[in-house]
Amino acid sequence: MTRQDPPDFEYVRVLLHNAQLHFKLVFGLTATRPEVRYLDGFTFGTHTATREELVLTAVQEEQAFAALEHCGTYLAVVQAREAFNSIYERPFSIPEPEVSSAFHIARLIRNAFAHNPFSPVWKIDKRCRDKAYSVPHVISLNTSGLHGQPVRREHYGGPLAILRFLQYVDNLVQVRSGRAET
């Protein structure tokens, strides 16, 4: 299958930028734990919710902030993977080893998240097991022994590795965009 139209590089960059904004906001919120003010009620269409239905306890807020950070991290990776799918016609056949590693890191983290968002488990296909993927000074993932294990931040380098990864993918889109224009 061949792509008919060239990718919309600027749109891909906007989506990556949105992922970065979301990621940074989530970490700002979880770090500062601002006071949450709840609505007295909310109506949309035929549905209505009362204040009592919307308010969280302090313990529930803490759980929700943790879940928000968790989801912000993985949504960022999902967007990075979509960027690869947008700018490469055949992302499984990327010839540059570093870029191929970046694609596989995004794909593997995304796959774990997609199958169970709040409790991701590594689902590593056989061709990717027992391999080390690395984007130097950005992110790395060694899949040895990970298949079937719960995902931990330490496996890929943590939240700042995700932020650097988004920046790396954005730069990659810029480079590809430059190639496409020549």
Question: Taking the domains of the chain in order of start, what are their residue ranges?
Answer: 9-181
For residue 14, the model assigns a pLDDT of: 96
For residue 115, the model assigns a pLDDT of: 85
Flag whether the pTM goes above 0.85: yes
For residue 1, the model assigns a pLDDT of: 46
Angle at 120 between CA 92 and CA 96, to 5 degrees: 20
C-alpha span between 42 and 92 (Å, rounded): 46
Among residues 22, 64, 30, which one has the least CA distance to residue 163?
22
Cβ neighbour number for residue 123 with a 10 Å cutoff: 16
Over its length of 182 residues, how does the chain's per-residue pLDDT go in tens digits?
455 677 899 999 999 999 999 999 999 999 999 999 999 999 999 999 999 999 999 999 999 999 999 999 999 999 999 999 999 989 999 999 999 999 999 999 999 999 889 999 999 999 999 999 999 999 999 999 999 999 999 999 999 999 999 999 999 999 988 865 54
C-alpha span between 56 and 22 (Å, rounded): 22
C-alpha span between 167 and 182 (Å, rounded): 23
For residue 181, the model assigns a pLDDT of: 55
What is the Cα 123 distance to its own chain's centre? Answer: 16
